[in-house]
């Protein structure tokens, strides 16, 4: 089984690529989804976050107030580092477990790991190759502002909290250009999939 890391900055288009892969029945392990699971009510990571950041980051029902925590950490490097120390080991361990489950099931020849911070979190060695979804910073910022309703400054803070696209390219085996339309994006992905197994079809 081949494990492919799908990475790229925030709002570069990873979920759009993942949805295409899933439509072709190719499994995708989603790091953002796992990051949400580990902070569900009752999870130790949520308690640790609460101890460090105070109950102002909780909603009335004691679930995580993601907006409040995001506003704190994406404007303060030290606090972002603290949050990463609490969450990243747990996210990595769950990703490793999921890869192992796919391996044991022997049902899939390819599994993707969709993670914006694949390189930053030192997960390069968990995957066989890295596909990078690349966009110009202006396009990235515009798509992020449109998608999440962020101001220019909020979008900049989120983008700058990650390794730059220029640096990430050095870790990529495959670079996917997502500056143009969705059809062009899908065409590139399909070509790469075809290249992996001759004419790729899962199942
Ligand atoms: C701070 C939190 C609560 C903000 O939640 P919010 O719903 O606003 O954003 P969401 O989780 O959907 O993330 C959106 C995007 O932000 C970027 N991002 C998220 N966490 C981080 C981080 N620690 N460092 C840099 N970028 C990040 C990623 O590109 C991600 O795809 C949340 O992002 C979080 O818990 N982050 C820490 C866990 C983590 O590192 N997740 C990313 C795993 S790849
Ligand atoms: N080629 C494209 N043309 C126009 N819009 C696009 C294109 N690709 C993606 N988008 C849009 O840009 C936004 C960001 O894309 P997407 O959510 O897939 O990014 P992401 O990398 O998964 O983001 P995150 O890191 O936050 O999870 C979305 O609103 C998506 O619909």
Q: 28-30 and 110-114: which strand pairing?
A: parallel
Q: Please state, for a pLDDT cut of 90, what percent of the chain lies above it.
A: 97
| Ligand 2 centroid from CA 54, angstroms | 32
| Ligand 2 centroid from CA 15, angstroms | 7
Q: Is residue 105 part of a domain?
A: yes
Model confidence at 202, in pLDDT bands (50, 70, 90)? Answer: low
Phi, psi of 4 (to 5 degrees): -115, 125
ipTM above 0.95, yes or no: yes
Q: Is residue 42 part of a domain?
A: no
- State yes or no: 15 annotated in a binding site: yes
Q: Is residue 200 part of a domain?
A: no
Is 80 exceeded by the pLDDT of residue 7? yes
Give tens-digit pLDDT for 32-57.
999 999 999 999 999 999 999 999 99
What gap in Å lies between CA 5 and CA 80, rounded to an integer?
23
Q: Given the CA of residue 116, which atom of ligand 2 is nearest to it?
A: 25
| Ligand 1 centroid from CA 116, angstroms | 9
Phi, psi of 27 (to 5 degrees): -70, 145
pLDDT at 111: 98
What gap in Å lies between CA 167 and CA 95, rounded to an integer?
24
Give tens-digit pLDDT for 126-170.
999 999 999 999 999 999 999 999 999 999 999 999 999 999 999
What gap in Å lies between CA 114 and CA 21, rounded to an integer?
11
| Ligand 1 centroid from CA 202, angstroms | 30
Burial class (CB in 10 A: 0-12, 13-18, 19+), 51: exposed
Q: Is residue 174 part of a domain?
A: yes
Pocket of ligand 1 (CB under 6 A): 10, 31-32, 35, 66, 69-70, 73, 80, 83-84, 87, 91, 115-117, 158, 161-162
| Ligand 2 centroid from CA 135, angstroms | 10
Q: Given the CA of residue 181, which atom of ligand 2 is nearest to it?
A: 1
Please give the tally of structural domains in the chain: 1
Q: Quick one: which of 6, 22, 35, 10 has its CA closest to 146?
A: 10
Q: Answer whether 182 contacts ligand 2 (Cβ < 6 A).
A: yes
- State yes or no: 11 annotated in a binding site: yes
Q: 2-7 and 28-30: which strand pairing?
A: unpaired
Q: Is residue 73 part of a domain?
A: no
- State yes or no: 172 annotated in a binding site: no
Is 90 exceeded by the pLDDT of residue 11? yes
Q: Report which DSSP code applies to 112.
A: E
Domain that holds residue 116: 2-36+91-195
Q: Is residue 97 part of a domain?
A: yes
Q: Is residue 78 part of a domain?
A: no
What is the chain's mean pLDDT, rounded?
A: 96
CATH code, domain with 121:
3.40.50.300
pTM across the whole model: 0.96
pLDDT at 98: 98
- Token digits of residue 91: 């996210």
Q: Is residue 129 part of a domain?
A: yes
């Amino acid at each position: 089984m081949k494990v492919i890391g799908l990475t790229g900055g925030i709002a570069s288009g990873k979920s759009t690529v993942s949805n295409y892969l899933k439509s072709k029945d190719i499994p995708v392990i989603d790091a953002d989804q796992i990051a949400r699971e580990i902070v569900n009510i009752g999870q130790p990571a949520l308690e640790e976050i609460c101890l460090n950041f105070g109950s102002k980051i909780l909603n009335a029902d004691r679930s995580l107030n993601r907006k409040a925590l995001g506003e704190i950490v994406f404007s303060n490097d030290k606090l972002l580092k603290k949050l990463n120390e609490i969450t990243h080991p747990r996210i990595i361990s769950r990703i490793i477990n999921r890869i192992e489950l796919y391996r044991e099931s022997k049902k899939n020849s390819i599994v993707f790991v969709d993670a914006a911070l694949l390189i930053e979190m030192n997960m390069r060695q968990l995957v066989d190759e890295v596909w990078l979804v690349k966009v110009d910073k202006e396009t990235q910022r515009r798509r992020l502002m449109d998608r999440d309703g962020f101001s220019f400054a909020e979008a900049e803070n989120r983008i700058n909290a990650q390794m730059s696209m220029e640096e990430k390219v050095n870790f990529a085996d495959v670079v996917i250009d997502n500056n143009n339309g969705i059809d062009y994006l899908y065409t590139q992905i399909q070509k790469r999939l075809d290249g992996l197994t001759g004419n790729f079809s899962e199942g």
